[in-house]
């Protein structure tokens, strides 16, 4: 297994269908990008009432609003809206999308259409959902409805006055919690859009100027958060929630479409699943301050970022309701290495660490996981009975019960990262209710070079970025067999035509109980050629104690790291205490409970103060 293998890996003969991109807008002009989006959705998709038609062309609010606002196929769009309202889905997605579509599109709607929408919400009951993004959508929808019409009794049984007050109260609570202790569904390449869209609606349509201000500031907050961890639009590092097909291919993340619109650092790719969710932001008059675009795109100098977020509410089996999540990322022009401390911080879809490469190639990432499932994991977060809830989860997230999945939380993993070095340790001492006893690492076939060295290191290069992965235990490498179900995708899903059914990676499997890896990242800027990088890494020394489950490692940069599983993290002999602020980097600063975010770029400092909802920006001499 440890013989030298040199794969001259794949410059794919042609990118797969899912990576074909539309013509990029020229330059970084926001309006051009915005118009490109609006034109594409107004012109390129025809609404079909055929139930056999693909998802994206059947009546849905996003395509309806694109047509209404562009004044194209208006009668068809109105008919499509009537169709949706005739059989309302009745949940948080429905109410905010209905209100957003009505409010953006009302100039093209008949004068009495507002009465129809109001009547619809007086009778259609709305399920609130059970996650933070669900609740923000639910309360945004009700907020907009309740301020629009003074109704004595909505379908929730409450008046407009009561409903507006409750909605505002929750939105205020969410803002306060997020800016005090960090976001719960943090840094999610998938769920990012589910926060941006309702906030954009509040910014655009709240009649209360203060609510508009709050929404604007939260949008800036979220884009600053995304900005410092994105590389050409790809959301890098650790994520609270990620579908497996995005974990293995960051190029296909929904957040990337927002990178296109607001940062201009990537191309418009309408084949990204649910890319059309960008329609409300594209219609909105919200504009991102230049300073946030600057921090999102300036990769001229590497930087480290420390962050604190929140664990999803732990409803049982844990000592705290919402313990802290500690994140660390190291961003360079050619790659980003990012991680969080490990453990069960979110159910099902956690993504603990990765290296993401700056490239146009698909599958531009390397990471490892312990594929894990247990009733306890589900019981920590879901109010249903812990044992039978598995059947439901296994249906809604088909990959959950599969050992080959690529998204997973695990209580048996902990990490320690410093700059471009990561130590990832596992203690796979499972109890009988837990599965599985292995760790898996993902190495994409799209790497330019992949070398298994006699030194014990596995090396790889993607364009100008390098990595060296040192498995701590015996392993095997196998060509993977990915399936759509395993990746959490769906052929019929909105905007996406196919996911790759062919193998896209080499999978490392390792079955030892005390386990893990050392990951050393680098690039041409830091270490010159790939050969030189390999030479330097081979000089480093990994000392693994399988009894203590600890690693001593002198990094390629000469730093001494020591990490013992569930115990000490030491850098050059000094203990590292995980007690990070909400943000701590050269670009972002925010202390816990301060409710103030300071954004710095060059001499410019922009301060978002959520205590009094003021924004100040000044140039420091």
Partner 1 sequence: MFKRLLMLVLLSAAVSFAGQRRVYVVVHLYQKMVVGGHNPPAGIFYTTDGGANWEHLGWSNIIAYSLTIDPDSNGRIMYLAAGNGVLKSTDAGETWRIMTDWHETEVSQVVIDPGNHNILYIATPYGVFKSTDAGWTWSKKNNGISPKQTGTTSSTFIGPILIDEANPNRLMIGTENGIYVSTNGAGSWKPFALKGRGVRDLVCSKSDPRIMIAGTENAGIFVSHDGGKTWSQSGNGIDSLAIYTVSFDPKDERILYAGGYDTGFMKSTDGGKTWKSFDSGLSEETIHGIAVDPDNPQDIYVATIPGGVFKSADGGKTWKYLFLDGAQVYSVMIH
Judged by CB under 8 A, the residue of 207, 287, 360, 395 near partner 1 is 395
Task: Check if the beta carbon of residue 262 is closer than 8 Å to that of residue 219.
Answer: no
CA 337 to chain centre: 15
Minimum CB separation of residue 380 from partner 1 in Å reads 9
Q: What Rg do the C-alpha atoms of the chain give, in angstroms? A: 24
According to the binding rule CB under 8 A, does residue 401 interact with partner 1?
Answer: no
Per CB under 8 A, does 48 bind partner 1? no
Is residue 400 a contact residue for partner 1 (CB under 8 A)?
no
268 binds partner 1 (CB under 8 A): no
Longest dimension (CA), the chain: 76
Q: Using an 8 Å Cβ cutoff, are 510 and 474 in contact? A: yes
Q: How far is it, in rounded angstroms, from Cα 415 to Cα 330?
A: 14
Q: Judged by CB, which is closer to partner 1: 127, or 511? A: 127
Query: Applying CB under 8 A, does 503 fall inside the site for partner 1?
Result: no
Token couple for 321:
């309701």
Give the C-alpha separation, 142 to 473, whole Å: 54
Q: Verify binding: residue 49, partner 1, rule CB under 8 A.
A: no
Question: Minimal distance in Å, beta carbon 124 to partner 1?
Answer: 8
Q: Closer to partner 1 at the Cβ: 317 or 545? A: 317
173 vs 535, beta carbon nearer partner 1: 173
Site for partner 1 contains 135 (CB under 8 A): yes
Does position 55 bind partner 1 by CB under 8 A? Answer: no
If binding is defined by CB under 8 A, does position 301 make contact with partner 1? Answer: no
The single residue among 24, 114, 318, 401 that binds partner 1, judged by CB under 8 A, is 318
Give the per-residue contact string, 545-584, with partner 1 (x = CB under 8 A; - = no).
----------------------------------------
3-class SS of residue 304: strand
193: part of which helix (H) or strand (E)? helix 192-205
181 to 184, 460, 592, 593: CA distances (angstroms): 9, 38, 6, 6
Q: Closer CB to partner 1, residue 118 or residue 165? A: 165
Q: Which is nearer to partner 1, 131 or 449 (CB)?
A: 131
Tokens of 82: 């009537």
Phi and psi angles of residue 217, each rounded to the nearest 5 degrees, phi first: -70, -40
Helix (H) or strand (E) holding 416: strand 413-418
Beta carbon nearer to partner 1, 48 or 322: 322
Strand 583-584 with 303-310, pairing: antiparallel
- Only one of the segments 280-288, 307-315, 499-507, 529-537 lies at the binding site for partner 1 (rule: CB under 8 A); that segment is 307-315
Cβ at position 580, least distance to partner 1 in Å: 22
User: CA 479, CA 495: separation in Å to the nearest integer?
Assistant: 28
2 counts as binding partner 1 under rule CB under 8 A: no
Residue 125 lies near partner 1 (rule: CB under 8 A): yes
Residue 52 binds partner 1 (CB under 8 A): no
Can you tell me whether residue 620 is helix, strand or coil?
A: coil
Interface mask (CB under 8 A) for partner 1, residues 357-386, using x and -?
--------------------------xxxx
> Closest approach of Cβ 115 to partner 1, in Å?
21
* Cis, bond preceding 457 (omega within 30 deg of 0): no
Question: Which of the residues 149 through 188 are near partner 1 (CB under 8 A)?
Answer: 156-158, 166, 169-170, 173
Nearer to partner 1 (CB atom), residue 243 or residue 533: 243
Cβ neighbours of residue 620 under 8 Å, at least 6 residues apart?
603, 604, 605
303 binds partner 1 (CB under 8 A): no
Note the Cα 300 to chain centre separation in Å: 24
Asked whether the CA dihedral 349, 350, 354, 356 is positive or negative, the reply is: positive
Is residue 139 part of the contact set for partner 1 (CB under 8 A)? yes
Cβ 95 vs Cβ 129: under 8 Å: no
Least separation in angstroms between residue 118's CB and partner 1 is: 18
Which 64-93 residues touch partner 1, going by CB under 8 A? Answer: 87, 89-91, 93
Angle at 37 (CA atoms; ends 103, 62), nearest 5 degrees? 40
3 counts as binding partner 1 under rule CB under 8 A? no
What is the crossing angle of helices 290-297 and 209-228, to 10°? 20
- Confirm or reject binding of residue 341 to partner 1 (CB under 8 A): no
- Sign for the pseudo-dihedral over CA of 62, 68, 69, 72: positive
Number of chain positions touching partner 1 (CB under 8 A): 39
Minimum CB–partner distance for residue 385 and partner 1 (Å): 6
- Residue 20 and residue 498: Cα distance in Å, rounded? 12
Residue 130 as a binder of partner 1 (CB under 8 A): the answer is yes
How far apart are CB 615 and partner 1 at their closest, in Å?
A: 27
Choose, by CB under 8 A, the member of 320, 431, 547, 612 that binds partner 1: 320
126 binds partner 1 (CB under 8 A): yes
Distance, in Å, from the CA atom of 604 to the CA atom of 602, rounded to the nearest integer, reads 6
Region of 316 please: left (phi>0), alpha (psi -120 to 50) or beta. Answer: beta
Binding to partner 1 by residue 53, rule CB under 8 A? no
21 lines the binding site for partner 1 (CB under 8 A): no
CA separation for the pair 199, 286 (Å, rounded): 10
Q: Minimum distance from CB of 127 to partner 1 (Å)?
A: 5
User: Which residue, 75 or 396, is less far from partner 1 as judged by CB?
Assistant: 396
Pick from 129, 401, 456, 581: which binds partner 1 (CB under 8 A)? 129
Dist CA 398 CA 325 (whole Å): 27
Which residues would be at the binding site for partner 1 (CB under 8 A)?
87, 89-91, 93, 125-130, 135, 139, 156-158, 166, 169-170, 173, 313-321, 383-388, 391-392, 395-396
């Amino acid at each position: 297994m440890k013989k030298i293998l040199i794969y001259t890996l794949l410059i794919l003969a042609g990118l797969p269908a899912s990576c074909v991109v539309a013509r990029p807008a020229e330059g970084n002009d926001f309006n051009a990008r915005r118009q490109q989006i609006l034109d594409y959705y107004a012109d390129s998709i025809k609404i079909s009432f055929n139930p056999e038609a693909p998802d994206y062309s059947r009546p849905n609010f996003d395509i309806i609003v694109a047509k209404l606002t562009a004044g194209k196929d208006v009668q068809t769009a109105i008919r499509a809206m009537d169709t949706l309202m005739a059989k309302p889905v009745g949940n948080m997605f429905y109410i905010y999308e209905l209100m957003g579509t009505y409010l953006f599109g009302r100039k093209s709607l008949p004068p009495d259409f507002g009465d129809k929408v109001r009547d619809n919400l007086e009778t259609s009951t709305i399920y609130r959902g059970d996650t933070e993004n669900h609740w923000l959508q639910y309360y945004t929808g009700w907020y907009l409805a309740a301020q629009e019409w003074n109704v004595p009794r909505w379908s929730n049984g409450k008046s407009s006055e009561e409903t507006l007050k409750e909605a505002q109260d929750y939105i205020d609570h969410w803002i306060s919690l997020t800016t005090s202790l960090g976001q719960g569904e943090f840094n999610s390449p998938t769920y990012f859009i589910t926060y941006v869209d309702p906030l954009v609606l509040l910014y655009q349509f709240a009649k209360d100027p203060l609510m508009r201000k709050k929404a604007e500031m939260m949008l800036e907050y979220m884009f600053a958060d995304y900005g410092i961890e994105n590389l050409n639009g790809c959301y890098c590092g650790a994520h609270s929630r990620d579908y497996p097909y995005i974990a293995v291919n960051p190029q296909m993340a929904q957040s990337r479409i927002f990178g296109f619109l607001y940062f201009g650092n990537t191309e418009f790719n309408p084949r990204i699943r649910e890319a059309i969710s960008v329609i409300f932001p594209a219609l909105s008059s919200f504009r991102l301050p230049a300073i946030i675009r600057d921090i999102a795109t300036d990769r001229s100098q590497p930087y480290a970022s420390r962050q604190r977020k929140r664990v999803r509410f732990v409803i049982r089996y844990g000592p705290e309701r919402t313990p802290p999540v500690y994140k660390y990322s190291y961003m360079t022009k050619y790659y980003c290495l990012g991680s969080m401390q490990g453990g069960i911080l979110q159910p099902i879809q956690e993504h603990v660490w990765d290296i993401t490469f700056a490239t146009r190639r698909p599958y531009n990432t390397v990471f490892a996981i312990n594929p894990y499932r247990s009733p306890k994991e589900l019981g920590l977060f879901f109010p249903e009975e812990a044992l039978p809830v598995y059947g439901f989860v296994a249906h809604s997230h088909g990959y959950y019960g599969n050992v080959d999945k690529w998204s997973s939380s695990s209580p048996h993993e902990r990490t320690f990262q410093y700059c471009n070095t990561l130590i990832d340790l596992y203690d796979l001492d499972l109890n009988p209710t837990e599965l599985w006893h292995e760790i898996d690492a993902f190495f994409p076939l799209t790497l330019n070079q992949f070398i298994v060295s006699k030194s014990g290191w596995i090396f790889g290069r993607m364009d100008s970025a390098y990595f060296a992965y040192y498995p701590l235990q015996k392993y095997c490498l196998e060509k993977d067999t990915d399936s759509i179900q395993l990746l959490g995708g769906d052929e019929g899903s909105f905007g996406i035509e196919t996911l790759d059914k062919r193998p896209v990676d080499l999978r490392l499997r390792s079955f030892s109980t005390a386990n893990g890896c050392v990951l050393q990242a680098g690039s041409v800027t830091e270490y010159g050629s790939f050969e030189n990088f390999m030479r330097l890494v081979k000089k480093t020394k990994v000392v693994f104690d399988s009894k203590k489950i600890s690693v001593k490692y002198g990094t390629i940069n000469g730093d001494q790291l020591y990490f013992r599983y569930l115990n000490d993290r030491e850098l050059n002999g000094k203990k590292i205490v995980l007690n990070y602020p909400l943000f701590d980097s050269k670009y972002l600063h925010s202390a816990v409970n301060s409710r103030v975010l300071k954004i710095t770029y060059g001499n410019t400092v922009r301060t978002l103060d959520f205590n009094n909802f003021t924004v100040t920006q000044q140039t420091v001499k």
